[in-house]
Amino acid sequence: MDMLETLKKITQEVNAVSDLATALSIIVKRVKSAMVTHVASVYLLDQQQNCYRLMATEGLNQAAVGKVTLEYAQGLVGQVGLREEPINLENAADHPSYRYFEETGEERYHAFLGVPIMHRRKLLGVLVVQQEESRCFDQSEEAFLVTLSAQLAGVIAHAEVTGLITQLSGSQKVAKCSGIPGSAGIAIGVAVVHSPGVDLSAIPKRMVEAIEEEEMRFLAALQMVRDDIAQAERNFGQSLPKEEGALFDVYLRMLDQHALGGEIVLKIREGYWAQSALAEIINTHIHNFNLLDDPYLKERAMDVKELGIRLLTKLGVSSQIERKYPERTILVGEEVTAALLMEVPRECLVGVVSVRGSANSHLAIVARSMGIPTVVGALDLPVLQLEGRELIVDGYRGEIISNPNREMRQQYEQMVLRDQSLQAELQQVRDQEAVMLGGHKIGLWLNTGLVTDASLLLDQSVEGVGLYRTEMAFMLRDRFPSEKEQEVIYRRQLEAFAPRPVNMRTLDIGGDKVLSYFPIYEENPFLGWRGIRVTLDHPEIFMVQIRAMLKASVGLNNLRIMLPMISTVFEVEEALRLIHRSFVEVSEEGFDIVMPSVGAMIEVPAAVYQILEIATRVDFISVGTNDLTQYMLAVDRNNPRVANLYHSYHPAVLKALQIIINAARAVGKPSSVCGEMAGDPVGALLLVAMGYDALSMSAAHLLKVKWLLRKISFAQAQSILREVLAMDNAQVIHSHLELLLAKQGLDGLLGPM
């Protein structure tokens, strides 16, 4: 059997077991056999005790397991860890760092090969093989052991979180697991693991003869789910901000006879079993949403899936029992959804952890609105082994901590008290304007797109909508919405905010942001046919949308049009030509309209370096920092494996933002920012210092941004910006900002690194 096949079999065998001791035992036995060596051992690093501990061996004295320890830099094992690379020795005893342990019985072994066990840049331990005769292990053997150690790393990372290493070693090890910050705050409580009761992909395709009976059965289940959602709205509606409370209305609309509910009924009428019809329709929608590039819209797959599971449960597929929740519940699951939060009594729910999900998910949005500390994208979290364990959820840094000691628990309890004090202060600025010390005023706008009634979002200090996502009108249909249908939707938004301006982004699809009725397949969708590129190639789609926007603005005159993903001057000129053509057509039809302002969204690095040429052709500039940062740094922030490389404070990002605002001001064009950085209080501070006129964010971020801006003068902000722009490292910038805020008593607002 070749090494590749052996590696595959070992990996499969290790992944099939649930406890660390068995996994390590399998590793050392299989490695010793596969490499025909006399010894195979695993040493794990105990970071709290700063030492290595022999945790498994095949060939050394078994009585030494769990007892033999080496200081961090001690012996050959310590050298492997320090260097973080393999050490291959013909005669180990000749090396100056060699250390002999009598209790292991290893004095007769000469050849030594040790490789580090690394997981996401973190050293976890060392995997060692030894042989009696003096020889160097060849390159294929070394490569085999390196590859195997990479596989072992994931198993050990899981064991750290669950405390299995603690059980094996007897030490009181504090375990951490990293994810993506979903909602800021600290939660201390007991893990309650959610496991879905049904599998949508496992429903058989079954035909029935009693079609009317199946339809009635489904309609009854549909009504029960609608009743549950309506009851949840009554229970939680008062505790949610109105924007997020509108999620209940979205769910009810999705279950309407003209949406998902109606599609499933039609499928049943074709002769399908109710469960089969439901699963087919739901899975189709999930597939379509999962093809999307826009994280905000892609997360809708979770909502559809949640509704499907609820319906299947009412149809009798699920056998879940009613849960009892501890006083301080931390809800943990592979895929926790926003709707699932509503099943936990609000007085019990203190924190949320989800293996899947992103910072743009409905879960994260609603959790932020409810003030529930949340971590998402925790890929290394062994969910099923956490039930009943004490956890700390750090929503600032995106960390989950298990087995906290008393000192650590007290430290986080102090952070909870600090957060509670800050929340009380934030309420004092709710109806006040965003005016800095000294009188410098900043425009605060809202990002919208989910809600059906935008008037629910109005706040005394909100000056308008900085970003209205028009995609939802297209995503919730099985065809392009007509001009009239779009007009009605846009009119509702414009009326709700009149006379305040509403920046409507033109249809932003393409690449892997695919409509089910307009599929696009590409090798690299992130760099493909998307945004303005699609709509300019299909002027019939673009002009219908523009005409609908113009007609919706009659008598209101608060419409502003934004063009997404601009990368060339030609795109701006062509879009303006089509907009003016639409304006003439609508005017000739007798509509009394005013030509709206048209702006370009700067989200692509190419646009940064043509910003002066672009700014001279449009009425305003809007920066989408989410995509701009991702494209500048080549990092998908919603990918947990590289999310730690996504830094809004990266010097390249800050310099690009300064270039944009300098060009906009040089030609007298107003500029705003509508990305997540605008909703980060410290990011907002830097943007204001650069000279941006307005910041657009979700309603959940408004108070913190406003509170911080009112605490600092414009001159102070500019001084901070000058210091930051002189730095060349995102981590250094983050630490510097943290220190500055702490000195002024404003710590706790800095976003996670």
Cα 214 from Cα 205, distance rounded (Å):
14
Check: CB of residue 579 under 8 Å from CB of residue 634.
no
Q: Which residue has the tokens 């002999």?
A: 100
Give first-to-last CA distance, the chain, whole Å: 46
Check: CB of residue 656 under 8 Å from CB of residue 668.
no
Name 679's Cβ contacts closer than 8 Å, sequence gap at least 6: 695, 697, 698, 700, 701, 705
Contacts 24+ apart (CB under 8 A), 404-411: 404/174, 404/188, 405/172, 405/174, 408/174, 409/188
The two three-digit tokens of residue 334, written as one number: 């592979």
The two three-digit tokens of residue 603, written as one number: 């989200």
Cα 115 from Cα 81, distance rounded (Å):
8
C-alpha distances in angstroms, 707 versus 603, 641, 710? 28, 33, 5
List, as one string, the DSSP characters of 84-110: TS-EEES-GGGSTT----GGGT-TT--
Check: CB of residue 409 under 8 Å from CB of residue 188.
yes
Closest by CA to 564, choosing from 503, 636, 483, is 503
The two three-digit tokens of residue 87, written as one number: 């050490």
Cα 603 from Cα 627, distance rounded (Å):
5
Name 233's Cβ contacts closer than 8 Å, sequence gap at least 6: 245, 248
Query: 330 phi and psi, to 5 degrees?
Result: -110, 110
308 forms beta bridges with none
| Angle of the 274-290 helix axis to the 211-236 helix axis, nearest 10 | 50
Check: CB of residue 294 under 8 Å from CB of residue 155.
no
- Given 38, 158, 362, 650, the catalytic residue: 362
Mark residue 531 as left, alpha or beta (left: phi above 0; alpha: psi -120 to 50; beta: remaining). Answer: left
Cα 401 from Cα 391, distance rounded (Å):
6
- Given 158, 650, 674, 734, the catalytic residue: 674
Check: CB of residue 281 under 8 Å from CB of residue 260.
yes
Task: Supply angle C-alpha 328, 330, 334, rounded to 5.
Answer: 165
- According to DSSP, residue 518 is labeled B
Classify residue 578 as exposed, middle or buried by CB count within 10 Å of its CB (0-12, 13-18, 19+): middle
Grouping H, G, I as helix, E, B as strand and the rest as coil, residue 476 is: coil
Task: Please indicate whether residue 674 is annotated as part of the active site.
Answer: yes
E-only strand ranges, 355-488: 374-376, 390-394, 399-402, 443-448, 462-469
List, as one string, the DSSP characters of 610-630: THHHHHTTSSEEEE-HHHHHH
Task: Please indicate whether residue 362 is annotated as part of the active site.
Answer: yes
List, as one string, the DSSP characters of 158-219: HHHHHTHHHHHH-----EEEE-EEEE-SEEEEEEEEE--S--GGG----B-S-HHHHHHHHH
What amino acid positions are annotated as catalytic residues? 362, 674
